[in-house]
Structure 1
Amino acid sequence: MAGLRPRAAVASNCLRPAIRRGARHASGAAFGYYTCWQLQGNILNWRSISATKKLWSTVASAKPDDSKFESVDAPLEPQTCEGSFLCGLLKNLPHIFLAAAAKQLQELSYQREESLKRWEHSIGSKEDCLHRRIAELKEHECQRAIEDVMYMLIVYKFFKIEVPMVPNLSKLISNRRLQLWPPRETDLESIHGPEVLELIREHLTSIIRWVHRNGPKINRSTLRIKRLQFVRIYSASIMYGYFLKSVSIRHRLELTLTRSEGVPPIQFLNAQLTNKQEQEGAIGGSSEASSSLRPSSVVNPHDLRGYIMGFDPKTLQLCAKLRSSEASNLIERHSWALFGGDMELSQENDEAVILDPSSLKRLLLEAIAFGSFLWDVEDYVDEIFKLSDS
């Protein structure tokens, strides 16, 4: 609970301006709908005449009843009323989804801030323990709600590019076989730039080769992989998409800054490390340790691949690290929901899945897109509701 007290200052100083900024983006009409639906208490069953026509995508499966799924559906179901509200809103009135999501974030930020203020005011009184416990419960409640809101914002991004998310795989697997159709490769690749896409294709090729090399040899068009391995590969691909998004934004920012100074990006990075080395030397730091951080030279520092190759281990770790615990929880919850929801999966009950390379590629492309969207959503939400550091 000690971590809550400093956050009260953050909430009062940082969140209030963010709330006011977010409020300007939400329309009054959207807030009117929101209040009306809350009073009715039957949001998810409400149907609008002007509701957007649902997008369907066919998934080849041995179960005919499960051969179609909606673009706004996702393997992870919301566990809070905030998430359920946004889920129903996305299905019926997607044009006001973002305004409603902003309103939800502002309300959650306000609730957490108020509980912390009440606890601060009660410090030293007989009600100190009571308000401290209330603040703890509110913190946990808001975190779960924020995770659901973040997840629905990610689902909304898939909805915008008209790519349905793959549902729980247990609905699509029959006789241990999984086949997804259509692959939607073009749509999933369209969200990335050319340089990022080149790195993604190399990642997909290496994964498919690894699965084919380490799995039982059936034939060239069939892959066999243990479900536990599948979960790990999928989660790692989410992290890779998150990493590429972080690196590409960092690369563009550094190019913008260095072009104004007329210094190439890698030279600019070297200059920063040199200054750090000089500072450490001035206070008695080890020059050998500092020089070991110097990035190696690359052929083209303006190229994204060359930029990444110039990273020292510390910078590489910084770009790959998730910024919030909410993002970490979302990756875990989404991955397990997709692969069956059994978080107790072990080597004893780990069955194999048979699939073709195109289906594996479809899932990995979705995972990479999920990671990229997660970075965007995390950045947006953190401006309104201060997320927990990972």
Structure 2
Amino acid sequence: MEYSLSFHKALPFSPFSHRRRFLIRKSQLVVARAGPSHCDFSSSPLNTPLEPNSSAGRFLSAVLLNQRHFFNHAVSDELKQLSNDRNAAFDRMLLSSASDEAALHRRIAQLKEHECQTAVEDVMYMLIFYKFSEIRVPLVPKLSRCIYNGRLEIWPPKDWELESIHSIEVLEMVREHISTVIGLRANSSVTDSWSTTQIQRQHLGRVYVASILYGYFLKSASLRHRLELCLRLALHDLRLSNRNSLQLPEMCSYGLNNLVFGRVDNRQSVSLGQGLSRQEQQEKLKCYVMGFDPETLQRCAKLKSNEAVNLIEKHSCALFGNGLLETDEVILTSFSSLKRLVLEAIAFGSFLWDTEEYVNTVYKLKEN
């Protein structure tokens, strides 16, 4: 589905264009002053495993460092510019299709598309980083900086902050996932959390990537669950008497967006819920997910864009070390550090889902 840019009004004034080079230079100076330190989250405000390769990514990192309150506006401007640049190159290719320069413009369009894809992946990464910064959780830096004397330790754990982004039902499934992949129970003692275990770097990388995908899946499934519950309540109400029911025209005027995103006020929720059994109203997300047929399960779990696929691969390789994911190196670590990595990965997947949805409304992503 194509999205129209007409729904996203351009800012009357963009404060970034004339300061862009200065901000990038300034951010580079800030980063340059930071000395190397083992797993030191405070060494740089943008201590991410993956460094932006595009001018758009470097610009947004500079805005985050120096003008954080303008970040969302800067992202919107960058996405619109990338979309316009890509569309302009494509239009020139179409116009020259019958000319002697057709091959040249086709090649230019291909290069521009590749350039824009790299840039939009950087934009998505900075958006995800911004979401982490909003809950005051730094991304774990390159693991090579956190491993010394063969031991991996990540401090502080930030468990509460990373769990706070989830609803109670999602958090229940998150804790079950943690128990499954690292063997740490939800009610484990402090002693259990800080006990040590050995794990292959290759296996740890697989757990991290799988947890990103699980976070992405949980976000998709929980929103689908909420939507279906709202629609079920609304359809039930339509069967009631005219005095109590929400008629179809009223549903349409109320707006399907409110049903999709669950923005139903308390007064209406009470009306919609009348007559439904308690079990229907309180169906747990876990039971809902377990009832998925294979097609629905795949639909919720599948990454929607190529950009999301690339971003997970690049972030994971940057975190664990490109090429080191295939080694059988054994790492000594604590269950607390493993939990920190898994919780971060799940949050990354959840934020990736949100970011992908937003970016796709401005810059059409490539379908996976």
Q: TM-score range by the shorter chain?
A: 0.7 to 0.9
CA contact (8 A) 2:197 2:334 kept: yes
> Does 2:330 match 1:352?
yes
Note the C-alpha offset of 1:344: 5.9
3-state SS of the aligned residue for 2:156?
coil
1:362 to 308, 319, 340: 340
Q: 1:22 is aligned with what amino acid?
A: H
CA contact (8 A) 1:221 1:357 kept: yes
Note the C-alpha offset of 1:43: 2.2
> Does 2:23 match 1:43?
yes
Query: After the TM superposition, which residues 171-182 of structure 1 pair with which residues of structure 2 at under 5 Å, given as runs?
Result: 171-182=145-156
1:315 to 270, 293, 296: 296
Q: d(CA) in 1 for partners of 2:93 and 2:41?
A: 52
CA contact (8 A) 1:119 1:135 kept: yes
Q: d(CA) in 1 for partners of 2:38 and 2:312?
A: 30
Higher RCO (CA-CA < 8 Å; seq separation 6+): 2
Note the C-alpha offset of 1:345: 4.4
3-state SS of the aligned residue for 2:51?
coil
| 1:152-176 Cα distance to aligned partner (Å, 9 max, x none) | 0000000111111110010111011
3-state SS of the aligned residue for 2:47?
coil
In structure 1, runs of 5+ residues without a counterpart are 1-9, 211-218, 264-298
Query: After the TM superposition, which residues 286-325 of structure 1 pair with which residues of structure 2 at under 5 Å, given as runs?
Result: 302-325=283-306
3-state SS of the aligned residue for 2:147?
coil
* 1:387 corresponding residue in structure 2: 365
Q: d(CA) in 2 for partners of 1:192 and 1:345?
A: 29
2:352 to 350, 353, 374: 374
Q: d(CA) in 2 for partners of 1:181 and 1:385?
A: 37
Q: d(CA) in 1 for partners of 2:39 and 2:236?
A: 61
> Does 2:93 match 1:119?
yes
- CA 1:220–1:106 in 2, change beyond 3 Å: closer, same or farther? closer
CA contact (8 A) 1:242 1:372 kept: yes
Q: d(CA) in 2 for partners of 1:27 and 1:194?
A: 41
* 2:131 corresponding residue in structure 1: 157
Aligned residues: 313
2:206 to 232, 237, 241: 232
Query: After the TM superposition, which residues 12-31 of structure 1 pair with which residues of structure 2 at under 5 Å, given as runs?
Result: 14-15=2-3, 17-18=4-5, 20-24=6-10, 26=11, 28=13, 31=14
1:331 to 312, 315, 322: 312
Q: d(CA) in 2 for partners of 1:124 and 1:141?
A: 25
3-state SS of the aligned residue for 2:332?
strand
- CA 1:142–1:67 in 2, change beyond 3 Å: closer, same or farther? closer
* 1:261 corresponding residue in structure 2: 235
3-state SS of the aligned residue for 1:354?
strand
* 2:276 corresponding residue in structure 1: none
- CA 1:220–1:377 in 2, change beyond 3 Å: closer, same or farther? closer
| 1:288-312 Cα distance to aligned partner (Å, 9 max, x none) | xxxxxxxxxxx76721111111110
CA contact (8 A) 1:226 1:353 kept: yes
| 1:179-228 Cα distance to aligned partner (Å, 9 max, x none) | 11221111000000000000000000111129xxxxxxxx9911111111
Q: d(CA) in 1 for partners of 2:232 and 2:354?
A: 24
Q: 1:228 is aligned with what amino acid?
A: Q
1:343 to 323, 333, 350: 323
Q: 1:136 is aligned with what amino acid?
A: Q
CA contact (8 A) 2:57 2:122 kept: yes
> Does 2:63 match 1:89?
yes
CA contact (8 A) 2:38 2:146 kept: no
3-state SS of the aligned residue for 1:166?
coil
- CA 1:127–1:307 in 2, change beyond 3 Å: closer, same or farther? same
Note the C-alpha offset of 1:139: 0.7
Q: 1:191 is aligned with what amino acid?
A: I
CA contact (8 A) 1:27 1:99 kept: no
Note the C-alpha offset of 1:46: 3.0
> Does 2:104 match 1:104?
no
3-state SS of the aligned residue for 1:224?
strand
> Does 2:252 match 1:244?
no
CA contact (8 A) 2:83 2:362 kept: yes
* 2:251 corresponding residue in structure 1: none
3-state SS of the aligned residue for 1:46?
helix
- CA 1:125–1:344 in 2, change beyond 3 Å: closer, same or farther? farther
Q: 1:35 is aligned with what amino acid?
A: S
> Does 2:172 match 1:168?
no
Note the C-alpha offset of 1:368: 0.2
- CA 1:328–1:64 in 2, change beyond 3 Å: closer, same or farther? closer
Q: d(CA) in 2 for partners of 1:220 and 1:168?
A: 22
Q: d(CA) in 2 for partners of 1:226 and 1:186?
A: 27
Q: d(CA) in 2 for partners of 1:382 and 1:221?
A: 44
